[in-house]
Amino acid sequence: MKYQVDQNGFYGNYGGAFIPEALQPIIGQLQKEYIDIINQADFQAEMQQLLKDYVGRPTPLYFAENLSKKYNTKVYLKREDLCHTGAHKINNTIGQILLAKRLGKHKIVAETGAGQHGVATATVCALMGMECIVFMGALDIERQAPNVARMKMLGAEVRPAMSGAKTLKEAVDEALLYWIENPDDTFYLIGSAVGPHPYPDMVSRFQSVISEEIRKQLLEKEGRETPDYVVACVGGGSNAVGAFYHFLEDETVNLVVAEGGGRSIEELETAATSFVGKDGVLHGSKTLFMQDENGEPLEAYSISAGLDYPGFGPLYSHMKELGRAEFFAVMDNEAMQAGLNLCKDEGIIPAIESSHALAILDKKQFKETDIVVINLSGRGDKDLDNYRSYFNF
């Protein structure tokens, strides 16, 4: 299994758990127990029930006839935009909160950048009656007022991170500090396939329901379980690994990653990690990320708040090294146009993150007989202001 973690949490040369001494005991416990807990029958039963009745799974695999005609290939959209709360993130927060419950924790701490993960976390905390503290950069709190309001309505406490640039990095630092100080009753709920082992693998397993469903749905619609291509956008990599998971070891399935190219790769106004990243340790694992000459993470930029992360999860660094996926930097303007096209062609308003994946149809030639599955990670309601000011509606 080339694309699964080893006992130490490494994907080849990447991953691991580079954490402060104070976190060793709690993360060590998690590393030992997570797979056993996830595989227990009652855990699976409770998770499957919630995914079905609360999240609304299985999400449709929609044959996009108009897009298919336009691009002369077979395009399917995996409709994660139809999940409760509007994106795939809830698949993971459901899994992790059930795990936290089994570990006897009653408080959840999380960090959020744009607020989407904060909302998905606050949602499941409300559902499970758990206390929820979300750290958010003070600047992000100003920029993302609707999501802050959602979190508060859902009963979460939003704590501003006041240091440094007052964005995601500072929120991560403060959330970790809080966890170190409250290890006994608190669980740290990470929102993407990043962080120290076992988080990348744990998040991948919880999101893998996406590709599990794709296989079943393709078998029904096409008589075979595997597509020729799976396309997804990557911020930290959770929706993409969910869509890729059950195809990772089958190299007849081509995997395509759409990164936030931003405004300019040369000027480093970008989030295209695979193009400008270097090896180092970010958020507790070894991976590629954008860094200065001292190895400090640089501020990433993308028009999409969910993609402007300076690195990606260790699995992607490994896939890049082995050539398992093809990586594209999708520029802001290309993504915005692809998002608008989906509205006009199919009557679906996508999240700007997902628009990056859709833009691959303009950047890469597919054959008429190819089956191309694009993971539509989220819906565009949250992005209306952004679309509006971009297109002057």
Ligand X SMILES: *Cc1c(COP(=O)(O)O)cnc(C)c1O
Residues that bind ligand X (CB under 6 A): 87, 89, 116, 192, 233-240, 306-307, 351, 353-354, 377-378
| Distance of closest approach, residue 349 Cβ to ligand X, in angstroms | 12
238 among known catalytic residues: no
Q: Which is nearer to ligand X, 98 or 234 (CB)?
A: 234
Task: Give me the residue label for tokens 């990470």.
Answer: 190
Q: State the catalytic residue, choosing from 80, 111, 213, 346.
A: 111
| Distance of closest approach, residue 287 Cβ to ligand X, in angstroms | 13
Give the three-state DSSP class for 361: helix
**Closest Cα to residue 335, out of 278, 256, 258?**
258
How far, CA to CA in Å, does 319 sit from each of 12, 200, 312?
Answer: 9, 14, 11
Q: Which is nearer to ligand X, 208 or 238 (CB)?
A: 238
Q: Which is nearer to ligand X, 51 or 74 (CB)?
A: 51
| Distance of closest approach, residue 104 Cβ to ligand X, in angstroms | 28
Question: φ, ψ for residue 331 (rounded to 5)?
Answer: -75, 160
How far, CA to CA in Å, does 378 sit from each of 125, 251, 390, 392?
Answer: 21, 27, 19, 23
Here the tokens at position 314 are: 């260790």
Q: Which is nearer to ligand X, 31 or 93 (CB)?
A: 93
| Distance of closest approach, residue 288 Cβ to ligand X, in angstroms | 14
| Distance of closest approach, residue 189 Cβ to ligand X, in angstroms | 13
264 among known catalytic residues: no
Q: Which is nearer to ligand X, 121 or 377 (CB)?
A: 377
Contact, 165 vs 137, CB < 8 A? yes
Q: State the catalytic residue, choosing from 204, 208, 354, 377.
A: 377
Which letter does DSSP use for residue 277 in this model? -
CA dist., res. 386 & res. 285, Å (int): 32
Task: Give me the residue label for tokens 């009753």.
Answer: 185
Residues 6+ apart with CB under 8 A from 138: 160, 161, 162, 166
How far, CA to CA in Å, does 38 sit from each of 203, 313, 342?
Answer: 11, 21, 37
321 among known catalytic residues: no
**Closest Cα to residue 330, out of 253, 230, 257?**
257
Q: State the catalytic residue, choosing from 78, 89, 166, 286.
A: 89
Here the tokens at position 194 are: 């990043």
What is the number of the residue whose Cβ is closest to ligand X?
378
Q: Which is nearer to ligand X, 74 or 97 (CB)?
A: 97
Here the tokens at position 137 are: 């950069």
Instruction: Report how far apart the first and last C-alpha atoms of the chain are (Å, whole number).
Output: 49
| Distance of closest approach, residue 244 Cβ to ligand X, in angstroms | 11
Catalytic residues: 89, 111, 377
